Structure 1
């Protein structure tokens, strides 16, 4: 069926790619087209492999010993130079092959809730998110692929935010006074969740930031591994903006068109290993409610993030010989760069 579909695909895509699917039938046609035709695993796999090699060489050095060079050097543009190869077709989509769909295929990343902890204003333009937060070093390598072309997208803003080692978001340290003794929801889709903590510290920005993809469609960040809080699996939030306005006076931005809202996850095995490390071991709910495993994530967010056969789980590698020396995490998002979504929490 694939060769026949590929023959028809350019015509169908031209008709449907820029048309909003409204009826269940139209949505199913678009979903089927993407699932069947956006299998660019060989090209995107090579894309990811080249990023891994370059990033690891930069972070580990020629001797393979873990060390971090100067920050500017770590993220120098030449880190990824030449990965598109001399013939210029390194990143082109290969013919559809009989292969498993993984996160390194050109499938549409599902839209999921942004949650209540996004700040519409004040997210800094920066690659180093950690500020003075203590935790396991986490280097993030996030690629953006346009599902309409199956090619990496340069100069789109990748915005991310995450909880610190003890499960708190910048600006939201405490529950509302009347909810201090609130207990988590029992049963239902909101099982394990508490009401959102209000924003009471407007000046806090730790573990929040945005950076534009480079010419190879990659945004890289330095962070710490996120902590967990009741009801939710360990995750990192993301938004992708093809359009934005930079404010040089304070290195923040005003969002323009929003093309994607998603969440990233980690394998439960690495989550459990990090739990044993300081300061994650100081999480106040460690010995009471404990962490929520991926398969029990409230609101079905972990499961919903797998729609379209997309894999929202980072591929992780140890920066050194043991996990305490840090982790590099890779993921590639398939984004419909023609999409436009409201940039606020819809509950």
Structure 2
């Protein structure tokens, strides 16, 4: 179709701006053209997200055991006793596939670049290209474990993440790519980077792009890997994680880091070595939600709560939150969050879809 032809016609230009922050007028216009063409697929992505949300509702809120709930006919009512599923049940691939496919007309593909007939809520402006932003100083190039439950024994608000990945070159979901995520714990520390006594009393940078930031805490523990992990997308282009809601630290808005590898090597110890890195990005949360979670224990014990407080999205240092929206502001990097139960402290589930250029390869190294 014409829209698909426009999109594919722009694929050849992707190497020109190399999927990094565009600088010249030509690079900026090329990215804008790719975003405009890719945006035509957004209604399909809306249905993509809606199908995922329906699957979660069936799995979490049904009174039946999880797999029975996914396949139960309408004549069998819910027992009315919502419970949280186990990880094995929650991530069962056949559960999502059944729930997602049942909601689509037979002539539709899940992510075809056709307009979806049923109106759905737009979750973000994907297939717009997800902007690349800094990975930050707390990534561990080696040793990230391959797992879906990354929480370990960290205390915090139960949070499930449902991350969709599509290729903006084809507007199709990307199966079998590795989504790697890492985040701070409830009081703002990363695994392996404990409080450094020489930096505790340091003052943040004043003025400039780094305004509000402290120097990064050095890595002083090479064993801890909590709140770090990677998982391969399924046949629908989905990677799902169990974690806790992240805490905040000086100068940065509340966020979760991500990388997407199209090639990697799994090690015997359950970790991986990345070979082909296609994307580096960050996800965020609505400030109103952050304000409520700030009041909950142990988030209320954050050591900078009464000194500097949490940095709002719009004040994020290095302009990372702003950069995450792209040069046209057409990408929404904020998770769409929903309650797992009747009240917030029963947990959350967040949805987001990334549109990446799967043909691109960047080096896996932080440049500061």
- TM-score, length-scaled by structure 2: 0.87
Q: Residues 150 and 65 of structure 1: is their aligned pair in 2 closer, same or farther, counting only changes over 3 Å?
A: farther
Which moved further from structure 2: 10-19 or 287-296?
10-19
Q: Which runs of 5+ in 2 are unaligned?
A: 64-77
Matches within 5 A, 1:76-95: 76-82=92-98, 83-84=100-101, 85=104, 86-87=106-107, 89-94=109-114
SS of residue in 1 equivalent to 2:210: coil
CA RMSD in angstroms comes to 2.3
Rounded Cα–Cα distance in structure 1 between residues aligned with 2:325 and 2:17: 22
Q: Does 1:269 align with 2:279?
A: no
Matches within 5 A, 1:77-116: 77-82=93-98, 83-84=100-101, 85=104, 86-87=106-107, 89-94=109-114, 103-116=124-137
1:133-154 deviations in Å (ceiling 9; x for gaps) = 0000000000001000111100
CA contact (8 A) 2:185 2:227 kept: yes
Rounded Cα–Cα distance in structure 1 between residues aligned with 2:7 and 2:333: 27
Q: Does 1:57 align with 2:48?
A: no
CA contact (8 A) 2:164 2:239 kept: yes
Alignment match of 1:210 (pick from 230, 250, 264): 230
SS of residue in 2 equivalent to 1:256: strand
| Structure 2 match to 1:71 | 87
Q: Which runs of 5+ in 1 are unaligned?
A: none
CA contact (8 A) 2:129 2:331 kept: yes
Matches within 5 A, 1:4-153: 6=3, 9=6, 12-19=9-16, 24-39=24-39, 40-62=41-63, 63=78, 65-82=81-98, 83-84=100-101, 85=104, 86-87=106-107, 89-94=109-114, 103-153=124-174
How far off is 1:181 after superposition?
2.6
How far off is 1:178 after superposition?
3.8
Which moved further from structure 2: 31-40 or 211-220?
31-40
Q: Residues 131 and 260 of structure 1: is their aligned pair in 2 closer, same or farther, counting only changes over 3 Å?
A: same
Q: Residues 100 and 270 of structure 1: is their aligned pair in 2 closer, same or farther, counting only changes over 3 Å?
A: closer
| Structure 2 match to 1:184 | 204
- TM-score, length-scaled by structure 1: 0.92
Q: Does 1:237 align with 2:257?
A: yes
1:16-67 deviations in Å (ceiling 9; x for gaps) = 2455559835413421222221121221111101111112221222446542
Q: Residues 286 and 65 of structure 1: is their aligned pair in 2 closer, same or farther, counting only changes over 3 Å?
A: farther
